[in-house]
Amino acid sequence: MRTIKDPKEMQAYSLKMKGQGKTIGFVPTMGYLHEGHLSLVAAAKTKADIVVVSIFVNPTQFGPEEDFRSYPRDLKHDKKLLNDFAVDILFFPSAARMYPKGSQSFVDPGGLAEKMCGLSRPNHFRGVDTIVSKLFNIVQPNLAFFGEKDYQQQLIIRKMAEELNFPTKVISLPTIREFDGLAMSSRNKYLLPEQRKQAAILYQVLRLAKKEIKGGEKNSRRLLSRLRRLMASAPSLKLDYLVIVDPETLEETKTIKGKTLIALAAYIGKTRLIDNLVVETK
Amino acid sequence: MRTIKDPKEMQAYSLKMKGQGKTIGFVPTMGYLHEGHLSLVAAAKTKADIVVVSIFVNPTQFGPEEDFRSYPRDLKHDKKLLNDFAVDILFFPSAARMYPKGSQSFVDPGGLAEKMCGLSRPNHFRGVDTIVSKLFNIVQPNLAFFGEKDYQQQLIIRKMAEELNFPTKVISLPTIREFDGLAMSSRNKYLLPEQRKQAAILYQVLRLAKKEIKGGEKNSRRLLSRLRRLMASAPSLKLDYLVIVDPETLEETKTIKGKTLIALAAYIGKTRLIDNLVVETK
For the domain that residue B206 is a member of, what is the CATH number? Answer: 3.30.1300.10
Within a 10 A sphere around the Cβ of A251, how many other Cβ atoms?
A: 11
Do residues B61 and B134 touch, judged by C-beta distance below 8 A?
A: no
Same domain, residue pair A40 and A166: yes
| B66 Cα to chain A: minimum distance (Å) | 23
| B106 Cα to chain A: minimum distance (Å) | 5
How much is the pLDDT for A179? 97
Q: Reduced to 3 DSSP states, what percent helix, strand and coil does chain B have, rounded to the nearest 5? A: 45, 25, 35
Same domain, residue pair A121 and A150: yes
Can you tell me the distance from the alpha carbon of A278 to that of B14, in angstroms, rounded to the nearest whole number?
37
Contacts of A103 in chain B (CB under 8 A): 163
Backbone conformation region of residue A21, classed left if phi is above 0, alpha if psi is from -120 to 50, else beta:
left
Nearest C-alpha in A relative to B111: A104
Domain count for chain B: 2
Q: Is residue B179 part of a domain?
A: no
Can you tell me the distance from the alpha carbon of B199 to that of B66, in angstroms, rounded to the nearest whole number?
20
How much is the pLDDT for A254? 96
- Boundary residue ending a domain (B150, B173, B196): B173
How much is the pLDDT for A206? 98
End-to-end CA distance of chain B: 47
CB contact under 8 A, B106 and A105: no
Counting Cα atoms < 13 Å in the Cβ hemisphere of A119 gives 9
Same domain, residue pair A158 and A244: no
| B231 Cα to chain A: minimum distance (Å) | 34
Q: Is residue A180 part of a domain?
A: no
B11 touches chain A (CB under 8 A): yes
Q: At CB < 8 A and 24+ separation, what contacts does B266-269 make?
A: B266/B202, B266/B231, B266/B237, B266/B238, B266/B239, B266/B240, B267/B237, B267/B238, B267/B240, B268/B191, B268/B195, B268/B198, B268/B199, B268/B236, B268/B237, B268/B238, B269/B190, B269/B191, B269/B192, B269/B195, B269/B236
Containing domain of residue B268, as a range? Answer: 186-277
B158 touches chain A (CB under 8 A): no
- Boundary residue ending a domain (B147, B173, B199): B173
How much is the pLDDT for A282? 76
A101 touches chain B (CB under 8 A): no
Q: Is residue A199 part of a domain?
A: yes
What is residue B10's three-state secondary structure? helix
Q: Alpha carbon of A221 to those of A198, A225, B88, B215: distances in Å?
A: 25, 6, 59, 76
How much is the pLDDT for B167? 98
CB contact under 8 A, A110 and B105: yes
Structure ipTM over 0.90, yes or no: yes
Same domain, residue pair A58 and A196: no
CB contact under 8 A, B106 and A107: yes
Neighbour order of strands in the sheet with B143-147: B2-4, B89-91, B50-55, B24-29, B143-147, B169-173
CB contact under 8 A, A11 and B166: no
Q: What DSSP string describes B167-218?
A: S-EEEEEPPPB-TTSPBP-GGGGG--HHHHHHHTHHHHHHHHHHHHHHTT--
Can you tell me the distance from the alpha carbon of A241 to that of B50, in angstroms, rounded to the nearest whole number?
52
Same domain, residue pair A106 and A236: no
Same domain, residue pair B39 and B115: yes
Do residues B60 and B106 touch, judged by C-beta distance below 8 A?
A: yes
> pLDDT tens digit string along A24-34?
999 999 999 99
Q: Is residue B193 part of a domain?
A: yes
> pLDDT tens digit string along A87-120?
999 999 999 999 999 999 999 999 999 999 999 9
A157 touches chain B (CB under 8 A): no
CB contact under 8 A, A110 and B107: no
B140 touches chain A (CB under 8 A): yes
What is residue B84's three-state secondary structure? helix
Q: Is residue A132 part of a domain?
A: yes
Distance from chain centroid for Cα B277: 14
Same domain, residue pair B143 and B11: yes
Q: Is residue A178 part of a domain?
A: no
Q: What is the CATH number of the domain that holds A149?
A: 3.40.50.620
Same domain, residue pair A145 and A215: no
- Mean pLDDT, residues A199-208: 98
Same domain, residue pair B218 and B147: no
* Selection from A138, A23, A46, A40 nearest residue A81 by Cα: A40
Contacts of A105 in chain B (CB under 8 A): 107-110, 129, 159-160, 163-164
Q: Alpha carbon of A88 to those of A17, A48, A172: distances in Å?
A: 12, 11, 21
Residue ranges of chain B whose pLDDT lies below 50: none
Do residues B205 and B225 touch, judged by C-beta distance below 8 A?
A: no
Q: How many Cβ contacts (< 8 angstroms) between chains A and B?
A: 85
How much is the pLDDT for B282? 76
Can you tell me the distance from the alpha carbon of A262 to that of A224, in angstroms, rounded to the nearest whole number?
10
Out of A34, A37, A77, A124, pick the active-site residue: A37
Same domain, residue pair B23 and B151: yes
Cα angle vertex B177, ends B59, B232, to 5°? 85
Is B77 catalytic? The answer is no
Orientation of helix A7-19 relative to helix A124-139, angle to 10°: 50
- Boundary residue ending a domain (A125, A149, A173): A173
Counting Cα atoms < 13 Å in the Cβ hemisphere of B250 gives 21
Same domain, residue pair A15 and A155: yes
Same domain, residue pair B37 and B126: yes
Q: Is residue A101 part of a domain?
A: yes
Q: Is residue B91 part of a domain?
A: yes
